[in-house]
Amino acid sequence: MSDAYLALEDGRVVEARGRVPGRTRGELVFTTAYTGYEESLTDPSYEEQVLTFSYPLIGNYGVRAERFESDRVHPRAAVAREFTEEVVEWLADEGVPAVDHLDTRDLVTSIREEGAMKVGIAVGEDVTPEDAKEELAQCKGMSEHVDIGAQVTTTELTTYEGDGDTTVALVDCGAKGSIVDSLVDRGATVHVLPYDADAEDVSALEPDVLFISNGPGDPENYTATRELVEEFAGEVPLAGICLGQQIVASALGGTTEKMAFGHRGVNQPVRDLQTGKVVMTTQNHGYTVADPGDKLDVTQVNVNDDTAEGLASEELSVITRQYHPEAHPGPHDSLGFFDDVLAMAGTEGNEHKPRVVASD
C-alpha cells in the first residue's frame, strides 16, 4: 500500500489508497457499469482518460483475457472504491496506476454536476499533493489530443476471414475486438485498416461496406477518416459506431459537440422513432452529434436527453449507431444492427436500404 492523491480541475485534492504506483493525468470520467470491468479497461475509447468505476467492488469475478477488447489497458489510471488483488496485479503488470479507498460516490457526483474534468494523479511511497498538482498542470483537454487516433489504431492492414460473400473495410479509429467478431460471426470478411488510410487503400479492397469504428477523442481530429466518408458516400454503403457515427455526420454536413460528462455504462435507454421500441444499450462516449445536417435523418434517440443515437440515409445507404450494439459488456438488445449493416451490402446489388425516420 502507498499514498495516493488526485488533484482535480475544480481545485480539490482527494486522498486515496495507492494500489499501483505511478504518476499520470487525463480526463476524469466514470462508468456506471457493474460488470464488464475487463472490457471497459481494454476499450480503446478510454485512451487519455482516468476511469472511475461507480460500482463499489471491481474484480469480484476475476480477470480473463478472453474478455479483453484489445491487447492492453487504455485508461491512464483506474479509480474504484475497492479493487480486488487480481485486478491490482493485472493493472500493475500493465503499468497503469490504480487507487481505491476513496468516496467514488462524491467523485461521480462532482463529474455529473461540473462535467468531466482534468485530473492529475500521484501514487507512491513518498508522493505529495504537489506531485498530483504538477501532473494536473500538464493535462490536456480531450480535443487537444489531435493525434489520438494514432495511439489506438492498427499499424497495418489486417484481415479476418468470414465464411460469407460480404467484404467489410473497417477503419480502425480504436475498434473494440467484439465489433470485428460480430461481423465475422455473420459471415463477413473484415479488412481492418489504419485510421489514416486513404481512398486508394479502401478502393483496393473493393468493399461492400465501409465501416467507421468507435474510438477516443474529438471526431473533428479524424481528418483522414472524414475524407474517406466524403469520398465514398453514395458509392459504398456506410456504417459507423460511436465515434464512427460522429465522423460520418461531420463528413456529411452535420456538427458535433462535447457533452458535459458523456454516456458511459450498460443501461442507457434508446428509443426507435419508427417503432417506439426502447432498448437498453452499452455506451462510452463524451462527444455527440449536435445536428445531423441535411443528408442524414435521426432514427433513434436517447430517452434521457434526446441526443441522437441512430442516423440513416436511404439515398446514401448509411446506417450508424452512437451506442455499442456489440454490447461487450452489456445487454444484447441491439445486436441486430450488424445484420442491418450486412444487409446493406446486398450481394445482388445493394437492394436493402436502412429504415429511415425523419427527425423533428
Tell whether 125 and 205 lie within a shared domain: no
Evaluate whether residue 37 is within a structural domain: yes
Q: Is 67 exposed, middle or buried (0-12, 13-18, 19+ CB in 10 A)?
A: middle
Options 145, 191, 324, 328, the catalytic residue = 324
Q: Please check whether residues 201 and 304 belong to one and the same domain.
A: yes
59 is in an annotated binding site: no
276 within domain boundaries:
yes
Integer Cα distance of 174 and 31 in angstroms: 18
Query: What are the tens digits of pLDDT across the range 90-149?
Result: 999 999 999 999 999 999 999 999 999 999 999 999 999 999 999 999 999 999 999 999
Is residue 355 included in any domain, yes or no?
Answer: no
Q: Is residue 359 part of a domain?
A: no
Same domain, 80 and 103: yes
234 is known to lie in a ligand binding site: no
286 annotated to a ligand binding site: yes
Kindly state whether residues 130 and 180 are assigned to the same domain. Answer: no
Boundary of a domain, candidates 83, 118, 140: 140
Is residue 326 part of the annotated active site? The answer reads: yes
CATH number at residue 153: 3.40.50.880
Q: Which of 69, 242, 309, 328 is catalytic?
A: 242
Name the residue among 205, 296, 188 with its Cα closest to residue 244: 296
Q: For residue 182, which amino acid is it?
A: S
Residue 45 annotated in ligand binding: yes
**19 and 39: one domain?**
yes
Determine contact, residues 136/120, Cβ cutoff 8 Å: yes
> Is the same domain home to 54 and 182?
no
Does 243 belong to an annotated binding site?
yes
The annotation status of 61 as a binding-site residue, yes or no, is no
Under a CB-based contact definition with an 8 Å cutoff, are residues 32 and 262 in contact?
no
pLDDT in tens, 52-98: 999 999 999 999 999 999 999 999 999 999 999 999 999 999 999 99
Is 131 found in the same domain as 237? no
- Is 51 found in the same domain as 188? no
| Cβ 219 vs Cβ 256: under 8 Å | yes
In a domain, residue 353? The reply is: no
Q: Is 173 a catalytic residue?
A: no
Q: Indicate if the alpha-carbon torsion angle 27, 116, 37, 128 is positive or negative.
A: positive
pTM, rounded to two decimals: 0.94
167 and 93 co-located in one domain: no
Instruction: In whole angstroms, give the CA distance from residue 17 to residue 15.
Output: 7
Please identify, among 140, 175, 210, the residue that sits at the C-terminal boundary of a domain. 140
SS3 225: helix
* Domain end residue (candidates: 112, 140, 168): 140
Answer whether 321's CB lies under 8 Å from 315's CB. Answer: no
> How many structural domains compose the chain?
2
Compute the distance between CA of residue 259 and CA of residue 316 in angstroms, rounded to an integer.
28
Range of the domain at 292: 149-345
Residue 168 shares a structural domain with residue 254: yes
Same domain, residue pair 66 and 195: no
Segments of the chain scoring below 50 in pLDDT: 347-360
The confidence score (pLDDT) of residue 1 equals 62
| Annotated catalytic residue 332 | no
Do 230 and 261 have their domain in common? yes
In-domain check, residue 100: yes
**CATH code of residue 57:** 3.50.30.20
Inside any domain, residue 11: yes
